[in-house]
Structure 1
Amino acid sequence: MSEPLLRVLNRMRGLILDPDVLVKAVGSGRQKGTTPQWRRAELRYVDLKGGRHLQVTTFDATQAFTKNYPAGDARDAVDALLDEPFGHWNVDTTTEHHAVRVTKKLEALVITTPRATEVEVAREHDKPKERLLPADDPVFVTLGISDKDGTLKPSRQGKYRQVEEFLRQLDAGLEDAKGKLRKPTADDPLRIVDLGCGNGYLTFAAQRYLTLKGLPVVVTGVDVKEQSRDHNSAVAEKLGVAAEFIAGTISGVELPQPPDVVLALHACDTATDDALARAVEWEAPLVLAAPCCHHDIAAQLRKQPTPSPYAALTRHGILRERLADTLTDGLRASLLRISGYRVDVVQFVESQHTPRNTMLRAVRTGGPVRGGSVRKEYDDLVSTWRLRPRLGELLGVTTGE
């Protein structure tokens, strides 16, 4: 039997606000015709130095945000989340589990299941974070991120964190690309190419992580430096992994078969454009690109008069550089959309570790877009700022000017 939604939410509110009863509450999904601010919300009580707090963790498309509220001052935070148009609430208490589903008529269906025995709630604040690849994995030891005993080196913590976040984005990208990627086999594994691979940290991490997940995979790394090819080939031999490394340019490399996944992580300036153009040329189902510096558009902004009314954005050097970063990645995202990709621009690593912390995650959905709002949006942006994006030239996408 359905019940009035407000009555049910008020009942759940009482359970959530009781620190002696709540185990965990989760809001997710969405009501028909609505979009909640958050993709998911999780609530539980934790014991801190200042006493018991309600820990609220909210998730958007790419990140998690955690806040702790004193148990007696959590009402406003709880009410704000209960006001979100989530389609589902699951509320676990020490004695029962309550599953709430919001119907199309904005009523609530509730299934309450008693627990066989009353549970004891864990209130620890700092739960160990699940690592996709532990610090003692042979990849990290061989690459020198961890010492021979498998302990993460203090000076390499930033690199380890970068690899960890990259693997999370790769995992999310593969999930997004389901139905677009072919099913790999041992005889025909998933083909990943890393363009501008450097010392291969992310190349080897991707190979190792996906292999541990039971996914047949072979990786190819491309870098202009012969030193990188020799170093990475030696590492691959030591690890005994299926990997090939090529010394050459991104624009000139030839592969025996088109890749399924293209990586271009921190390829400098227009090298990212070269990598994206090759990905489009290969019709790669999944592309992950984390651009590095953005000199090309920055130089064009310095040479061109600023269109009205944006002079305040380019008058100061630091603002002009930030604007160049945003314009560059926005134009790249638009060009990938024009080329038949669905694109998400997400945070790669936290901003305190590097200012170059955005990633373009693109899934191929069809052929190039010849016109429509996507193309008009790009043309208007390029014309307004009088820009000639390198990627646009490589893809043959030019404005009417």
Structure 2
Amino acid sequence: MFAPNFSFEQEQQFFLDIQQSIESQSFDRLILSQYKGELAQLEKMTFRQIELQGQATLSCLYHYPTQDMTKNYSIDEGLEKIAELLSQSKQANLFTLHKDVQLKKNKKKAMLSRQKKQAEATKIEQQHNREKHRYVQQQSPFLKHLGITDEKVQVIPSMARKWKQINKFIEIFSNAYEQIDASQQALNIVDFGSGKGYLTFALYDYLQAQNKTPLITGVELRSNLVEFCQQVADEVGFNHLDFFEGDVRSYSPEKLDVMIALHACDIATDFAIHTGIRLNASMIMCAPCCHKELRPQLKSPEVLQPMLQFGIHAGQQAEMLTDTLRALLLKAYGYETKVFEFVSLEHTSKNKMILATKRKDIQQPDEKIMQQIQALKEMYGIQKQSLELLLQDQMPIENIGCKC
């Protein structure tokens, strides 16, 4: 008569706890350690549940002595992988909303222990972890090259704000990306004013994780940043990420699916939006900066003169009017457009974003919206607005101002 295999029974019960925690949405993380399988030098594995394109996903971080690797699985595939790795690990720790479960195995027996904990504290921790890991993996090599993380893959304290900004940008992009036709495998993206490339690299990394082929060009005026970013792209193996020295006047893509221009100064934003509309981009993302064009033209309507006599109010009104006209022009040319507050990408108060997604192809701009634009211009005495002139082929490409 054979003795019962208590180790197997305890392992099965532990695996059942994992399944139940995922089904009840109380799963936080799973750590498998003291690995004894065939994968050379693998030390431990950390599983977390994240969201990719609105789908629940199990993300596993494989820890090796000299590097870490991340792989994402569907829930069913992830559970199969967990079952396989669990049988090859001597210790497993499951952290859930309601309890912690530990499984320890040796040659003779297996020990399974459970410890209840305060649900609210764990819920906060779970939400915090999911927010951190949802869009950009902290272990991504490019983050270390750009100075976001250190040798231990921890976010450098002085870059914590930048890390938050990167994740916020990808979150916004991800939500908009779900609304456009994302069936195509390759995506042509241009980032005007890419700077040190924080968001450009993060976007490439994110799209790769979605099994897409991102074809991204970062356009930047400063040659030292172009050289630096291209070197990093080569080192981390981002083979379809290129950097070009120039601006919206000197770089003219033949095909464009997504146009990004964050903190393009003054009417450089208008040139960038015009490029997106002209090339029928599916998505346009702008964070306007240094609104200067309309302020000298602004004539206060009589009813607003008591308010706009103060310079700060007149400046705020000119900024709001500038971005309203841009948003309306995008709507007139077939884009669903949103204007909202965005986490500042640099240490600046310029944190507004214009996000537009293509909804329909048109032959002529919407007449009703164009009438609204004309009424606003007449109300404030505006004679010239660059984006409107560009769309009407009435404005040559000229000096588009400073780069901030």
Q: TM-score, normalised by structure 2?
A: 0.62
CA shift, 1:372, in A, is 3.1
Residue in 2 that maps onto 1:161? 164
Pairing of 1:242-261 with structure 2 (within 5 A)? 242-255=240-253, 257-261=254-258
Give, in whole Å, the separation in 2 of the partners of 1:370 and 1:271.
22
SS at match of 1:191: strand
Which residue, out of 224, 235, 256, partners 2:221? Answer: 224
Q: Deviations over 1:185-241 (max 9, x none)?
A: 3xxx21111011111111111000111122221211112222222111111111110
Q: What is the letter of the counterpart of residue 227 of structure 2?
A: D
Cross-structure match for 2:141: 138
Separation in 1, partners of 2:187, 2:376: 37
| 1:64-83 aligned within 5 A | none
Please state how far the C-alpha of 1:272 moved relative to its aligned partner. Answer: 0.9
Q: CA deviation at 1:141?
A: 0.9
CA distance in 2, matches of 1:273, 1:126: 42
Q: Which amino acid is 1:198 matched to?
A: G
1:393 equivalent in alignment to 2:396: no
Q: 1:234 is aligned with what amino acid?
A: Q
Q: Is 1:348 aligned to 2:351, yes or no?
A: no
- Residues 154/384 of structure 1: CA separation in 2 closer, same or farther (3 Å cut): same
Q: Which has the larger radius of gyration?
A: 2
Q: Secondary structure at the match of 1:161?
A: helix
**Aligned partner of 1:213: which letter?**
Q
1:267-298 superposed Cα distances (whole Å, 9 cap, x missing partner): 12111111101111111011111112212223
Task: Spell out, residue by residue over 1:151-185, the C-alpha distance to the aligned partner (whole angstroms, 9 max, x if none).
Answer: 2122212211111111011001101213xx4x333
8 A contact 2:255–2:279 mirrored in 1: yes
8 Å CA contact retained: 2:333, 2:366: no
CA 1:158–1:120 in structure 2 vs 1: closer, same or farther (change >3 Å)?
A: closer
Aligned-pair CA distance for 1:354: 4.4
Distance of aligned partners of 1:397 and 1:321 in 2 relative to their CA distance in 1, 3 Å threshold: farther
The structural deviation recorded for 1:144 is 0.7
Q: Residues 371 and 236 of structure 1: is their aligned pair in 2 closer, same or farther, counting only changes over 3 Å?
A: closer
Cα 1:172/1:353, change in 2 over 3 Å? farther
1:135 positional shift: 3.2
- 2:271–2:390: 8 Å Cα contact kept in structure 1? yes
| Structure 1 gap ranges (5+) | 1-93, 95-118
1:192 aligns with 2:189: yes
Counterpart contact for 2:344–2:350, Cα < 8 Å:
no
Of 257, 271, 274, which residue of structure 1 is paired with 2:271?
274
CA RMSD of aligned residues (A): 2.4
- 1:55 aligned partner: none
Identify the match of residue 382 of structure 1 among 377, 394, 399: 377
Check if 1:316 corresponds to 2:316: no
- Equivalent pairs, count: 271
Q: Which amino acid aligns with 2:244?
A: I
AA at the equivalent of 1:138: P
1:360 to 2:363 alignment: no
The answer to whether the 8 A contact 1:313-1:323 is kept is no
CA distance in 2, matches of 1:352, 1:217: 25
Give deviations 1:27-85, integer Å, cap 9, x for gaps. xxxxxxxxxxxxxxxxxxxxxxxxxxxxxxxxxxxxxxxxxxxxxxxxxxxxxxxxxxx
Q: Which whole-Å CA distance do the structure 1 matches of 2:366 and 2:353 have between them?
A: 26
Task: Tell me how far apart the structure 1 counterparts of residues 294 and 288 of structure 2 sit (CA, whole Å).
Answer: 13
| CA distance, structure 1, for counterparts of residue 200 and residue 180 of structure 2 | 19
Question: Is residue 165–residue 344 contact of structure 2 (8 Å, CA) maintained in 1?
Answer: no
Q: What amino acid is the match of 1:161? A: K
For structure 2, the residue ranges without an aligned partner over 5 or more in a row are: 1-97, 99-115, 395-404
The answer on 1:122 being equivalent to 2:125 is no
Specify the SS of the correspondent of 1:219.
Answer: strand
State the 4+ residue runs in structure 1 displaced beyond 4 angstroms.
Answer: 350-354
Kindly provide the amino acid, as one letter, of the partner of residue 389 in structure 2: E
Q: Note the 1:194-209 alignment, pairs <5 A.
A: 194-209=191-206
State the 1:126 CA deviation.
2.6
8 Å Cα contact 1:340/1:369 also seen in 2:
no
Q: Distance in 2 between matches of 1:397 and 1:321?
A: 28
Shift of 1:254: 2.4
CA distance in 1 between partners of 2:364 and 2:166 (Å): 34
Q: Distance in 2 between matches of 1:240 and 1:284?
A: 27
The one-letter code of the counterpart of 2:184 is P
Is the Cα contact below 8 Å between 1:193 and 1:222 reproduced in 2? yes
How far the C-alpha of 1:350 sits from its partner, in A, is 6.9
Q: Give secondary structure in 2 for the equivalent of 1:234.
A: helix
With normalisation by structure 1, the TM-score equals 0.63
Identity %: 30
CA offset at residue 134 of structure 1?
3.4
Q: Is the 8 A contact 1:158 1:353 kept in 2?
A: no
